[in-house]
Amino acid sequence: MKCLTTSRTPRTGWIPVFSGALAWAGALALSAVLAQPLAAMESSGPAADFSAVQHLHAEELAAFAIGLDARENSLANDVRALAMALAKKLDPGLHAREPVRRPMTTEEALADKADREAAADHAKAREEAEGYSATAANAKDDKTKDAQAPADDAGGDPYPAPEDLPARFSAMRYEILAREVDVAANLDLDDRAGAAVRTAALKNLLTLVGTPHWVCERRLKSRITFELARKDEPWSGVFSSDRLDYLTLVEKDGKITGLWTAKPDGGDALGNVVMQVQGRTANGAWKSAGGEEGTITLTLHIDGRTITGSTTGGGETHQIHGTRHDP
């Protein structure tokens, strides 16, 4: 897997502002932790690769948190707690030495109060600009809508630059979760180990996103839901074959149904097949339009285009070789 590089300063051109970062405390408290760290599932392979990405992101969050001013009861201290909580969700084994907190002076307390008020004002302005509704955000999710592929942003730069410390953390938080969704979604669905890691990672990320606050977060949650619902059905398609002419296969829920015809457009059927999928192998039965029948075994090669196998019937065995037909 291609390892992601991380940046200490999140991009501000498209990352959302979230001035009410303290609202994420509840989401983090409710965040489910996998039964065991992904890396523990295997010493190498998809789980270890994804765990390495999470470790990099945890270190990025920890560096951000440790660099904040360590004053007791300050806005910076609250944001530090949120950043460290997320870092430890991504990497439970993370070790980071946080700075010793110190009391605020009267002048610092007044300045901190002003910072909190400014952050609240920024959040309110952003909510008004996005048409945010707390009632709608906390309503039960529309699963049908969530399962749809998220639409791309339309034109322009939809997000202003972060204006305060909580917004900076929110920007970093969103970008890190979005990166991890990208990595998880690109794991191979057709590989058993990769598919297991993919599902576990996406479910955990869905919990970390929590109740969406901004439009971008609603879109991210929708994307995760869509990716969780997506199934890999590599057998579906039309294959030109030396034995079965044009074989049109449809895969659904681990079962293949198909027709073979003399022409790729699916004209008069010469016969049909029904098979069960076991990874890259499918086994089942064939029956010709004339009533002859037998068994069939096919293998879909790693290129996703080549099929090989055999048919038996009438006391004879015939080899099959075919390639995916490009219309």
- Please give the pLDDT value at position 154: 36
Residues 6 or more apart whose CB falls under 8 angstroms from that of 228 comprise: 199, 202, 203, 206
Q: Are 46 and 187 in contact (CB under 8 A)?
A: yes
Q: How far apart are CA 199 and CA 184, in angstroms?
A: 8
pLDDT higher than 80, residue 18: no
Q: Which of 11-20, 37-46, 180-189, 201-210 has the lowest mean pLDDT?
A: 11-20
pTM across the whole model: 0.61
pLDDT higher than 80, residue 38: no
- Please give the pLDDT value at position 41: 44
- Please give the pLDDT value at position 96: 87
pLDDT higher than 60, residue 265: yes
Q: Which of 30-34, 64-68, 78-82, 302-306 has the lowest mean pLDDT?
A: 30-34
Torsion angle defined by CA atoms of residues 225, 175, 177 and 60, in that order, rounded to the nearest 10 degrees: 170
- Please give the pLDDT value at position 327: 61
| pLDDT above 90: percentage of residues in the chain | 49
- Please give the pLDDT value at position 134: 66
Domain ranges of the chain: 21-229, 237-324
- Please give the pLDDT value at position 208: 96
Q: Are 19 and 164 in contact (CB under 8 A)?
A: yes
DSSP string covering 5-22:
P--SS---SSPPP-S-GG
Report pLDDT digits (tens) over 113-155: 999 999 999 999 988 888 777 666 665 554 434 444 444 443 3
pLDDT higher than 50, residue 88: yes
295 forms beta bridges with 285, 312
